[in-house]
Structure 1
Amino acid sequence: MSRHRLILLAIAMILIFFLLAAAIPHVTILELLVLAGLMTLRTPPATHFFKFITFFGTPAFFYPATAALSLAYYTRRRWQGFWAVLITMNITWGIMEWLKNFYHRPRPSLGPLEPAPGFSFPSGHAMMGTVFFGLLALWLLKTCPPRCRSRVVPVTLIFLLLLGFSRLYLGVHYPTDILAGYAAGMSILALFLAWWNEG
């Protein structure tokens, strides 16, 4: 994708984010109905599975995973990638925390299956996950054998959908939190890729 299109994509994702933020007062009751419906689908195996999936959106995963991805660039003397991964992930974390404190949205209280500190909007799992796994996909597209490259993007998208859905299933986020997290993460990732192409 060209640099111009990536910038347009980032702008579009930012607009979607603000539309979702503006919709919060009008959709909360509908979102609670969605969460209530998901509660009826809970089973012990599914709960175990989604608790496993949700781990990949936590700081306990992102800190070592970011260090490992940065080190992968470092060992190949790709200094731009090394610094870009570190800087992008830290900037994303800072923006996420600022947005959560700005919107100050309480988390759902409809039967959460795990403790979730902090505010709800946007979802940090969706936002940080979009950026990190997008960066990881970029690395894999540049390094894995050609026969594997066609699978990288679909697998990444499916995993991100599972990561976001895990937060709904566990009852710790509203749907708009997840969608806004994806939008914010995509905007940052698109800007990163625009810079990357230029660099």
Structure 2
Amino acid sequence: MIRKRYYLFLAALMVIIFLLVATAIALPEVRYFDTWILNRLMAYRSPLATIIFKVITFFGTSIFFYLATAALGISFLLGRDYRGFWVLMFTMNGAWALMEGLKAFYHRPRPALGPLEPAPGFSFPSGHAMMGTVFFSLLALVLLQRLPTRYHSLVARLTIFFLFLLGLSRLYLGVHYPTDVLAGYAAGLAVVSLYRLWWPR
């Protein structure tokens, strides 16, 4: 019961943070902060860094999520965890639908400060940050369940670090504002928290 209350509280907190960020993006001060951060990052662009961040950002694309979700789903089926399979499919597809709905609702234009790759659609929230948080958190939960305890800290730290790099890649490439990424993280964590409520294993 205590654990369920914790995840319910975390989900509510992330929703509040998302709504606060969504409200703040209309403020001139926040828009200035967003643009200032992007300009600072662009000053550090280099050919090598661009290649690295383009590789990292691939792990937040729709084609990656299709293939990775299918692979993770197959692992559930091979383990005869059929309910886990369907919960995974529902969570990933539900999160994707939610992301598209939020983008359509807020319809925030993407930055126009020199993007390094095409990025169709709206900017808020960052789909890479949101869906990346959902998928890699679920993957981490599976690994935590299946790996010995001595590896748990490493899995958690690598997951957090990679999600940071994934969000940073969207800023470096100039296709999202910092507030887009922050809102994406919050929305993703809200989904993961609800997943834990539904599927505590």
Is TM (by shorter chain) over 0.5?
yes
Give 1:127's aligned amino acid: M
The secondary structure found in structure 2 opposite 1:82 is helix
SS of alignment partner, residue 116 of structure 2: coil
From 171, 184, 187, the equivalent of 1:184 is 187
> 1:133 aligned to 2:141?
no
Partner of 2:32: 29
The residue that corresponds to 1:9 in the other structure is 10
Residue type of the alignment partner of 2:144? L
Mapped to 1, the partners of 2:36 and 2:170 lie a distance apart of 15
Question: Which residue matches 2:72?
Answer: 69
Query: What is the aligned counterpart of 2:157 among 154, 159, 172?
Result: 154
Which of residues 80, 93, 97 in structure 1 aligns to 2:96?
93
Aligned residue number for residue 45 of structure 1? 48
| Residues 184-193 or 26-35, more deviating | 26-35
Q: What is the CA-CA distance between 1:80 and the residue it aligns to?
A: 1.9
Give the total of aligned pairs.
198
Q: 1:76 is matched by which residue type in structure 2? A: G
Letter in 2 for 1:121: F
AA of the residue aligned to 1:21:
A
Identity of counterpart residues, as a percentage? 58
Which deviations, in whole Å up to 9, do the C-alpha atoms of 1:99-128 show, x marking residues without a partner?
Answer: 000000000000100000000000000000
The answer as to 2:127 corresponding to 1:116 is no
Ranges of 4+ aligned residues in structure 1 off by more than 6 Å: none
1:126-167: CA deviation from partner (whole Å, max 9, x where unpaired): 000000001100110111233322211110000000000000
Q: Which amino acid aligns with 1:159?
A: F
Cα-to-partner distance string for 1:86-110 (whole Å, 9 max, x where unaligned): 1100000000000000000000000
**Is it true that 1:172 corresponds to 2:175 in the alignment?**
yes
Match of 1:193 in 2: 196
Q: Distance in 2 between matches of 1:5 and 1:145?
A: 24
TM-score using structure 1 length: 0.97
Structure 2-normalised TM-score? 0.96
RMSD of equivalent CA atoms: 1.0
Structure 1: tracts of 5 or more residues without a match: none
Structure 2 distance, partners of 1:148, 1:4, is 27
Letter in 1 for 2:5: H
- Looking at structure 2, the residues matched to 187 and 137 of structure 1 have their Cα atoms a distance apart, in angstroms, of 16
Structure 2 gaps of 5+ residues are none
Cα displacement (A) at 1:60: 1.2
**C-alpha displacement at 1:81, in angstroms?**
1.3
- Give the deviation of 1:194 after TM superposition: 1.2
